[in-house]
Amino acid sequence: MTGRETHSPDPPSRRRILYGRRKGRPLRPTRQALVDRLLPRIRVPVPGRNQAVAAAQEGTLDPLQWFAGPRPFASRPAAAYRAVWLEVGFGAGEHLVAQAQAHPDVAFIGCEPFLNGVAAALARIDRDGLNNLRIYDDDARVLLDHLAPGSLGRVFVLFPDPWPKARHARRRFISAATLDALARAMAEGAELRFATDDPVCLRWALSALIRHPDFAWAARSPADWRQRPADQPPTRYEQKARAKGAAPVFLVFARAPRTARQGGASAQNT
């Protein structure tokens, strides 16, 4: 995404800049109605707009609490969730919704600050009556800071904005600081799945992941990064890349075992 810089709701001492657009063309009336009606029912509450509250909540929130209240679609049966999976930057929600359909026993959280993408995902969620999906329409890094250790069983970062220019490198989502936050929030053995068709973004992310002590590359052969995981449906960004003749790369890294000092949940949450 490109556009104006916006500030995420961090305390002033840790203010972050969220790069990219928040809104595109005006929404159609039906999409706006979904934003008004459905989004408040499935939105993950924005943590930490009050600095004192942010400090108290940081690193303590169990994401399953956001699935414990009244079901958005009461006519659909209730479910017991075995894990929480997170997608960062879900675009229009094609992959996120497909995963939620395929795994009704998993609670999904999708992060996407672009309103038009959120509205498109809401249309799919409303169509399919998905109770196991929540949306955080802000900076995923803020949410990660507030999640309890070991609370995520899988994380998808699929075709993020590559920011290919060197002067924009700090805008890329994968960084040492973000990987620290992911490592804290992910359970032992949980998978971080990353995909890109941009060679600059690939080198950047692979270098950061290999250097990080809390992640281990799961690849055993070239096919493991040349082929999309069999249980992972394609995104429209992958389809666009292949239409241009690009060859996407798929990285799967596992959260390494925690030491006694680190604490957190085990792979039973994956």
pLDDT at residue 60, as a whole number: 85
* 83-119 residue pLDDT tens: 999 999 999 999 999 999 999 999 999 999 999 999 9
How many of the other CB atoms lie within 10 Å of CB of 133?
26
**pLDDT, position 79:** 85
For residue 13, the model assigns a pLDDT of: 37
Average pLDDT value over all residues in the chain: 86
Return the percentage of the chain with pLDDT > 90, whole number: 71
Task: Please give the pLDDT value at position 266.
Answer: 56
Confidence at 48, pLDDT banded by 50, 70, 90: low
**Strand partners for 186:** 152
Among 261, 253, 93, 251, residue whose Cα is nearest residue 186: 253
pLDDT for the residue numbered 75? 84
pLDDT of residue 112: 96
pLDDT, one tens digit per residue, over 139-182 is: 999 999 999 999 999 999 999 988 667 776 788 889 999 999 99
pLDDT of residue 181: 97
- What are phi and psi for residue 254, nearest 5 degrees? -100, 145
Residue 244 CB neighbours (<10 A):
8
Q: Which residue has the higher pLDDT, 260 or 238?
A: 238
Q: Which of 126, 128, 161, 224 is catalytic?
A: 161
Low-confidence winner among 76-80, 153-157, 158-162, 254-258 (lowest mean pLDDT): 76-80
Residue 223: domain span = 5-269
The yes-or-no answer on residue 161 being catalytic is yes
The answer to whether 119 touches 141, Cβ cutoff 8 Å, is: no
Cβ–Cβ < 8 Å for 185, 151: yes
> Residue 198 and residue 246: Cα distance in Å, rounded?
8
Q: Does residue 183 have a pLDDT over 70? A: yes
**What is the per-residue pLDDT across 8-20, written as a single tens digit (0 to 9) for each?**
444 433 446 655 5
Residues near 66 by beta carbon (within 8 Å), at least 6 away in sequence = 44, 45, 107, 109, 134
Task: Give CA 218 to chain center in angstroms.
Answer: 20
Contacts of 20 (CB under 8 A, 6+ apart): 1, 2, 3, 113, 114, 161
Contacts of 111 (CB under 8 A, 6+ apart): 86, 87, 88, 89, 90, 135, 136, 137, 138, 139, 140, 143
Q: Taking Cα atoms as reference points, which of 60, 99, 91 lies closest to residue 191?
A: 99
Q: What is the C-alpha to C-alpha distance for residues 269 and 153, in angstroms, rounded to an integer?
A: 5
The CATH number assigned to the domain holding 153 equals 3.40.50.150
Q: How many domains does the chain have?
A: 1
